Every structure is written in structure tokens, then in C-alpha cells.
């Protein structure tokens, strides 16, 4: 059993053969100039800053044979899987889902904006989950894939911490998975949201799971 002694609220132990790394929505639309996130008026500096950290974690996971799962939020070209309320809210913000953008139609599968940033391009044998909602379990086969691979622990990173990361975390928690959220490999557009989201994970003795910096986790993976 591998152990992240520095994890909060207490040490996190895991078996690499029963652990999956879940990289949430590291897409051009959220992390690249001209994407959905920036068109909404957000500063993407923070979401871009975690890319090198995730690169290191991803390589450590690959070297250790840990199951890697990438997720992408996006919709079918005809928007048939996009709830009207979600579409309405995006239009009110001035960057509607499906509208033309610098990297193609915003949050539409197959467009450049929907793709994962080049620095984190998935390998052919890695799982890519296309999800229409915030959570990675909603209307996807993620739960089946995790069960099929006998997973019990999840290492969670990506963007944004208070939205898609937290929704996935909470969905996983309800399904009984032991979850470790990486503090410096997750990001929100607003630092206040980031601090609050991380705090919520580990409060009340770890109500949703554990948090840790990435380096201690990498060291634990390499034990």
C-alpha cells in the first residue's frame, strides 16, 4: 500500500493497481486563449498554470501503470444533449454554447476548443470520457469502466475546482470511491472559489475525501 503522509485531513493510502487518475476538462475551451472560459471574461492564467503540474503527475501515473481517465465537457453538434436552461444561461453570458469562436463552435465535440490542451494529449490506450454535464458520471460510462477495472481510489485534478471537479468528486463520493483532490493541480478562475472548494473537500474529517499537493503524491506513487 502506498501512502501520502502529507495529505489532509490525514494520510491517504492507496493501491496503484486499484487507483485511477481522473483529469477533468483540461480543454482549450477552458485553458487556452479565445476559449469559452476567456470569452466569458475570465482570466485563464490560473487554469493554464496547473498544466505543467498535471504533466508531471500524468507521467508518474503512466510510469506506474495507473489507470488514466481524461474528461471533456461538450455537446453534440445539434445540441440535442444540451439542456435548454444551460444553453440559455450561456447565451446570457455572451458566449453561447454552439456559437462560433476562435477555435470553432464553443463546447461542441469535434471542435478545436473541445480538445484537450496539447501538453496533456491522451495516449491511445487512455480513456477519454465525453460528458454533457458538469459531473463525469452523468450520462457517461465512467462508473462501468471503473467497476470493470476494479478501482477503489481516485486521484482527481483539472478544472474548474468548484464546478466540474467538485461535481465529479461528489458523484464519486456517493458511489463509495476514496478520492484525493490535488490542490496545486486543480484551478478555478477565481482564487476565492479555489480556496473554498479545497476546504470543502476535507472539512468535517474529510467529508468528500482528502487533499494534497502533487509532489507528495508523486513520491508516494514512486514508493
82 catalytic per annotation: no
78 catalytic per annotation: no
Q: For residues 136 and 174, is the Cβ–Cβ distance under 8 A? A: no
Residues 6+ apart with CB under 8 A from 89: none
Q: Which residues of 34-53 are buried (b: 16+ CB within 10 A; e: fewer)?
A: bbbbbbeebebebbbebbeb
Please state, in angstroms and as integers, the Cα–Cα distance from residue 173 to each residue in 12, 100, 198, following that order.
15, 37, 15
131 catalytic per annotation: yes
Catalytic residue among 29, 39, 82, 131: 131
What is the three-class DSSP state of 39? helix
Catalytic residue among 31, 82, 157, 164: 164
Q: Are strands 153-159 and 127-131 parallel, antiparallel or unpaired?
A: unpaired
Catalytic residue among 25, 31, 157, 179: 25
User: Cα torsion at 170, 171, 174, 178 (round to 10°)?
Assistant: -70
For 204, which DSSP code? H
Q: For residues 180 and 9, is the Cβ–Cβ distance under 8 A? A: no
For 66, which DSSP code? -
How far apart (Å, rounded) are the C-alpha atoms in residues 137 and 117? 22
Catalytic residues: 25, 131, 164
Amino acid at each position: 500500500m502506498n501512502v501520502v503522509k502529507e495529505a489532509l485531513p490525514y494520510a491517504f493510502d492507496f493501491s496503484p493497481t486499484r487507483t485511477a487518475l481522473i483529469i477533468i476538462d483540461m480543454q482549450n475551451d477552458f485553458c487556452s486563449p479565445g476559449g469559452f472560459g476567456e470569452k466569458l471574461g475570465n482570466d485563464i492564467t490560473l487554469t493554464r498554470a496547473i498544466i505543467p503540474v498535471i504533466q508531471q503527475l500524468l507521467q508518474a501515473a503512466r510510469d506506474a501503470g495507473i489507470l488514466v481517465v481524461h474528461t471533456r465537457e461538450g455537446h453534440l453538434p445539434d445540441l440535442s444533449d444540451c439542456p435548454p436552461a444551460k444553453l440559455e444561461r450561456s447565451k446570457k453570458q455572451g458566449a453561447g454554447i454552439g456559437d462560433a469562436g476562435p477555435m470553432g463552435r464553443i463546447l461542441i465535440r469535434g471542435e478545436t476548443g473541445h480538445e484537450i490542451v496539447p501538453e496533456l494529449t491522451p495516449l491511445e490506450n487512455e480513456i477519454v470520457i465525453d460528458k454533457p454535464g458538469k459531473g463525469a458520471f452523468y450520462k457517461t460510462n465512467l462508473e462501468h469502466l471503473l467497476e470493470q477495472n476494479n478501482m477503489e481510489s481516485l486521484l482527481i485534478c483539472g478544472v474548474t475546482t468548484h464546478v466540474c471537479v467538485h461535481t465529479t468528486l461528489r458523484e464519486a463520493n456517493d458511489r463509495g470511491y476514496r478520492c484525493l483532490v490535488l490542490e496545486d493541480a486543480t484551478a478555478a478562475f477565481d482564487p476565492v472559489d479555489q480556496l473554498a472548494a479545497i476546504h470543502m473537500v476535507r472539512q468535517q474529517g474529510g467529508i468528500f475525501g482528502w487533499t494534497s499537493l502533487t509532489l507528495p503524491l508523486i513520491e508516494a506513487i514512486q514508493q
